[in-house]
Structure 1
Amino acid sequence: MAKGRRNDSGDAESGRDATPEGGEAPATAVVAAPVKRSARSAPRPAKGAVEDDDEEAGDGEADGEDDEPEAVDAELVDDDAIVGAAEPADDEVVETDEVIEAPASKSEGALTRFDPMAAYLREVQRHPLLTPEATKELAIRFQTTQDPAAAAMLVTSNLRLVVKIAYEYRRAYKNIMDLVQEGNIGLMQAVKRYDPYRGVKLSTYAALWIRAYILRYVINNWRLVKLGTTQVQRKLFFNLRKKRAELQAMGIDPTHAEIAKQLDVPEHEVAEMDVRLASGEKSLDAPVGDADGSSTTRIDLMPATGDGPEALAASEEMQTLLKAKLGEFRVTLEGKEKDLAIFDERLVADEPLTLQELGDRFGISRERVRQLEQRLTTKLRLFLSEELGDATEVL
């Protein structure tokens, strides 16, 4: 069967299926060219963080064939320092006419497994690409009127770019459709925040947002437990193994200290991330040893974090004894109205009164109440020391 391919004229409508008589041809999906640079993992990508050797789709053209995904420089995965950088120049985007084709059926009559990615590529191909002039016009219209139709056209015309960038991380996360969906969210954010008056192509700006959302999704879903929540941890997540391989290739022993020096991070962070990457999760509810059919789980074997029965009993006994001794001490204060008030309303009260409130009650200053309280506290400490001895140390 014949496959529709892009013609030499670079027409934006090329890439649709060519259907000869007697059968239908599978669609050929055109995907944007690789964008070889890293983005920040926060939802905000850095403006202007486009390297000189970047390859990326223009607003009005379909772009190139996918390269193997490379290790990401997580130093750019930063929640801060995102706004305020200069926008990249328009000529930093390299365009190409290569295409990536959706998988084709082996034969007309054979049963084939449904491929959601191939179906999505065919759907993406239905949306026309826009010229730079049309893109700018729609962006201005959306910026001034918030017209959802204009935003929808800007998003759908760049869906190929999302697929291309998502394919760069297919080794890091096997479900490519999840990456595409996350990248689409980044694309919508880019359209929402795009400024057409800065002289930067939408595809250049959107690639940063797409990559940032995909990177954030990868690191958040690498395992059930997040591996990196800080900038240093994200940097190590994306670069630790890569840097270790580089040092080994140069004949250098990749110790934690050497890697920390190379990546400019604390050594203990390197050791911690190394352990995280080398180990996996284990369910606490999983049975331990199924040979004898035991129902014991890992959580049953974990030591208790609270006090044991003996400690609880001793603590309860001490509280009872202390309460009794405080009652005996209060008896010694009979006839001393101020001391009784301070003892009841300040020293043992759940919600003690302020010094000012007690001072107003007895017509004395706050400082005088404080002096009386300090004297009473000293007397109480001496009384408990005489009655309880060394047991007062645990109170």
Structure 2
Amino acid sequence: MLYLGDDWAEDHHDVELVDDHGARLARKRLPEGLEGVTRLHALIAERMPPEWADLDPGEAAAQVRIGIETDRGPWVQALIAAGYQVYAINPMSVARYRERHSTSGAKSDAGDAHVLAEIVRLDHAHHRPVAADSDQAEAMKLVARTHQTLIWDRTRQLLRLRSVLREFFPAALDVVDDLTASDALELLARAPDPARAARLSRSQIAAALRRANRRQVDAKAADLQQRLRGAQLRQPDAVQAAYAAIVTAQVRLIAALNVEVEQLGQVVADHFGRHRDAEHYLSQPGLGVVLSARILGEFGDDPHRFTDAKARKNYAGTSPITRASGTRTIVLARYARNRRLADAVHQWAFCALKGSPGARAYYSALRTRGTGHQAALRQLGNRLVGILHGCLKTNTTYDEATAWAHLQPTS
């Protein structure tokens, strides 16, 4: 076989090709894009062993293992389409493996290409090839990740807005429950400082509440007006004007993000609804369309990617790690993990507490034993990931009695 390490950058790739014995056959710097891929194919073809002559192109390409520090992008897709065995190596693993070759701390792109080639030559069994997910799953992963990123961006802007209001207009935080709500944004856009807020008429406040479909509009409008007109500490006029400009900018950003989150959420739902595994995910307690799409996108739909439930749990980051030395053993949470998947599973565990009596009983039993809230949710998430794996493996939907049969008293 041939083994190739590919250290990629924005505009080029440093590659090194070695044989079964680790002897270097070639080292090149290739440009990004079609020209670079073409030259890579030619480089591999020139170094093919003579015994490959009788193989068809697909069989020959399957004899090449490539290590690269990413699983996305047109370059990786071109390598997979050519039939090569492509391994996406975690950069942390590459950094640790680099120390095996040099303890001085030296680093170079060509050196990393050599390290990647050695990893797929010697340790490929300890790494996963790039998953053979369907195009539909890959597309859903992209939109679900972007949707999640927009929500995180909105949360950052919201926290900034809260910080600004607390410094010069704390009354706004006292009268508004949700700063992302349309009525709150409308009122803040119209009156971004205490002086203008005090001049809001009851009809203006009521109109904003009606457009947000609030109940008991008249009573709420009267209460808001009274509270906004109450006495409060003020900043100097010039400082207040500067703060008001900042609030206006933040409100516009949050309003725009609200629109994009809503529209992209519909795109996520459309992609998820067409997937073959949608029914299995939606049958799980605590999972809605968007959260299911996030989890499915991160797990992928390659049926051979996870050999068992433990492998899926490890990938999700819900299973603990053990550090044992001598007579001391410590069990810790797994922090080196897919952050997006871990966030989604954590939300899933929290939502499942209402939708599943078994999940609630499992969580309560953990809390009774003294387990903290976050740790209990993490263990519940670990259990839910295992249940999901069983449903996907057996092509069945969720069943409450089967999932939590171990909690039922034995006769």
**Structure having the higher Rg:** 1
**More strand as a share of residues:** 2
TM bracket, shorter-chain basis: under 0.3
TM-score normalised by L of structure 2: 0.21
TM-score normalised by L of structure 1: 0.22
